[in-house]
Amino acid sequence: MRTPFICGNWKMYKTVSEAMAFLDAAKGLVGGVNDVDIGIGAPATALKSLADGAKGSNIMIGGENCHWENEGAFTGEISPQMLVEAGCKFVIIGHSERRRYFGETNETVNKKVKAALAAGLVVIMCCGETLAEREAGKTDAVVADHVKNGIAGLSMDEMAKVVIAYEPVWAIGTGKTATPEQAQDVHAVIRKLLAGMFGDAVAQTTRIQYGGSVKPENVREIMAKPDVDGALVGGASLKPDSFAKLVNFKA
Ligand code: PGA
């Protein structure tokens, strides 16, 4: 069985004090949930305080990006080892905003995925097509390209710590959610790809999250699809009550 994984992606929102106020409220609201993995991807400045504050709770803290080296002359970058020491349990890699605005490619994503796994982090590896690509009938090909290249060269053991997030670019921050059927269709394609690359056992145990305008109002129907194992949530993860409703999607 795949444990559902609901994860916030705060992007470039929340100062340290705002992050800590959220955490205080959220801990009380989701404390009783023990059958869902719960994560918050947060800006680097807030990670250490959040991770310290989340100790002993059921909330995991993670980074939104990392470099592929553990140290070096890379001004402005953060290494996987730095995330680990700050208390992070996971890192989001290859988000479409990073691909689009910060020049990430399948090649750099793959290097980052490998480095993050080597440091002991769980990796949420993002993939997804643009609207133009969907309209041109290229969705499956684009997603396959992101997934195959992003996790190329990993071992079956390493795959145990990889989560794939399918995030259609046209659904991110736009209020346009993919229908549960559209999400399911692509998730099934991804699972088939994983079976081809790593065998059925890995395909059946790897979690695939959906992301793109997930909110308390639509999370339940999306999560009901057989190949949807979680959600990666931006806007609706920024308020504790909304975040708690997402985590409590079964209620
Ligand atoms: P959104 O963002 O929920 O605000 O659409 C999702 C994401 O970018 O991970």
**Would you say the CB of residue 128 lies under 6 angstroms from ligand 1?**
no
124 CB near ligand 1 (under 6 Å): no
Say whether pLDDT at 108 is over 90. yes
In tens, the pLDDT along 50-74 reads 999 999 999 999 999 999 999 999 9
Burial class from Cβ neighbours inside 10 Å (0-12, 13-18, 19+) for residue 75 reads: exposed
How far is the first Cα of the chain from the last one, in angstroms, to the nearest whole number? Answer: 19
Which of 191, 104, 94 minimizes the C-alpha distance to 140?
191
Q: Which residues have a Cβ under 8 Å from the Cβ of 155 and sit 6 or more positions away?
A: none
Task: Tell whether the model's pLDDT for residue 133 goes beyond 90.
Answer: yes
With a cut of 90, say whether residue 140 has pLDDT above it.
Answer: yes
Ligand 1 atom 1: the closest Cα is on which residue?
Answer: 234
pTM (two decimals): 0.98
Ligand 1 atom at shortest distance from the alpha carbon of 11: 8
Specify the pLDDT at position 1: 82
Residue 103 to residues 13, 74, 97, 99, 225: CA-CA distances in angstroms? 21, 15, 9, 5, 33
Runs of H (alpha helix) within 151-215: 156-159, 180-198, 200-205
Judging by beta carbons within 10 Å of its beta carbon (0-12, 13-18, 19+), is residue 56 exposed, middle or buried?
exposed
CA 118, CA 40: separation in Å to the nearest integer? 21
Active site residue 133: no
Quote the ligand 1 centre to 212 CA distance (angstroms): 5
The pLDDT score that the predictor gives to residue 247 is: 98
Ligand 1 geometric centre to CA of 21 (Å): 21
Q: Return d(Cα 109, Cα 39) in angstroms, integer.
A: 21
Residue 207's beta-bridge partner residues? 163
The CATH class given to the 5-247 domain equals: alpha beta
d(Cα 194, Cα 144) in Å, to the nearest integer?
Answer: 10
Please state at what angle helix 139-150 crosses helix 180-198, rounded to 10 degrees: 40
Nearest to 129 by CA among 117, 138, 121: 138
Cα 244 to middle of ligand 1, angstroms? 16
For residue 251, pLDDT over 90 is answered with no
Banded pLDDT at 132 (limits 50, 70, 90): very high
